[in-house]
Amino acid sequence: MTAVDIDSLRLNRRTSSTLLPIDAAEIAAGEKIRDFMLKHFEHAIVSLDTLNKVAAVIEPRGFTADNTLYAQSVCPDEINHEISNITELLTEYLGNVFHLSGLAGIPFTGKTGFGAFSHHVPEEGHLFVMMAPHVGITPDLKVGSYDRIGQEGTGSACGAAAGAYDFCCKRGNQPIPNVADSPDDFQMCYIINKINDVFEEKISVYPTENERQVALVKEMYKIGKIMLDNILTTKGWGGSLSKLSILTGIQINVANPHSDYFLPLSFEIKSKDGTTEDVFEEAFGHRADN
């Protein structure tokens, strides 16, 4: 298997994300962010390394751009779709993309969305699904924030997760919003409900804001993974030899010109006979605690 070269991919998605040479100061800043990031997200790797490790596993098992349909469940935030991100790299590598998600990377399209996606698979072809919430890290090492192009100061990333976190911090006696009563904002209501369920036990217990933001994105991952597991099926699509490959993790957004990172948390391949092959260690080695 030949390693994927980022220059060989069709990297013309966004001119604002063009890969440019960086100077010594930027390299040092990037190393500072990387070292800090690895303290909180051990085993995270740059997105291109993620792609190459994935390709080394799926290519020998018959997955190609011609016979594989790709879907992703990631937050629609534009910072998740820059040219060096795992989202764009997988799209260019496998060709085209079906979107399963809404806010925070949760696969809100549900069983209907996966059903539509799976029925587009090539004859006797395969499916590849990637799911990941995201979190930003600023140059001054704030987790849960991101320096966006053209804006003064920092913004939140993920904004939906931050909104749910803020609601829980300030809730007091305020009632939790009812998803059924908010059809025009049901995704945010769902996220608030789920984060509220774990806020005191899993998030607010940490002493620092950075630690709480790390805990927040890990809980967002669990929320998305549970829904993803509930909607995926190997039935009703493809042929007897078709397979479903599932990669999940956390996207870690770092401001340009630095490359984003990906923390892989699960990687498996499901066959039509009901068996599941765990290929995580083959691809990535050590597992991260989540």
Residues in Cβ contact with 216 at an 8 Å cutoff, skipping those fewer than 6 apart: 135, 144, 161, 162, 165, 195, 203
Residues in the chain: 290
Which tokens hold the place of 223? 């929320």
Which tokens hold the place of 81? 């779709």
Inter-CA distances, 204 with 24, 72, 199, 215, 284, Å: 38, 30, 6, 9, 31
Which tokens hold the place of 177? 């919003």
Q: What local confidence, expressed as pLDDT, does residue 285 receive?
A: 92
DSSP secondary structure of the chain: -PPPPGGGS---S-GGG------HHHHHHHHHHHHHHHHHSTT-EEHHHHHHHHHHHHGGGT--TTTEEEEEEE---GGGGSTTSHHHHHHHHH-S-EE---GGG--TTHHHHHHHHHTTPPTT-EEEEEEE-EEEE-TT--BTEE--TT-SS-EESSHHHHHHHHHHHH-TTPPPPPGGG-TTSHHHHHHHHHHHHHIIIIITTSSSHHHHHHHHHHHHHHHHHHHHHHH--SSSSS-TT-EEEEEEEEEEEE-TTSPPEEEEEEEEEEETTS-EEE-HHHHH-SPPP-
CA distance 110 to 131: 13
Residues in Cβ contact with 29 at an 8 Å cutoff, skipping those fewer than 6 apart: 139, 258
- The residues of the chain scoring below 70 in pLDDT are 1-24, 290
Q: Which phi-psi region, left, alpha or beta, contains residue 43 (left: φ > 0; alpha: ψ -120 to 50)?
A: left
Q: Is the dihedral of CA 167, 168, 169, 174 positive or negative?
A: positive
Contact 63, 103 (CB under 8 A): no
pLDDT tens across 202-260, in order?
999 999 999 999 999 999 999 999 999 999 999 999 999 999 999 999 999 997 777 89
Which tokens hold the place of 38? 């690895």
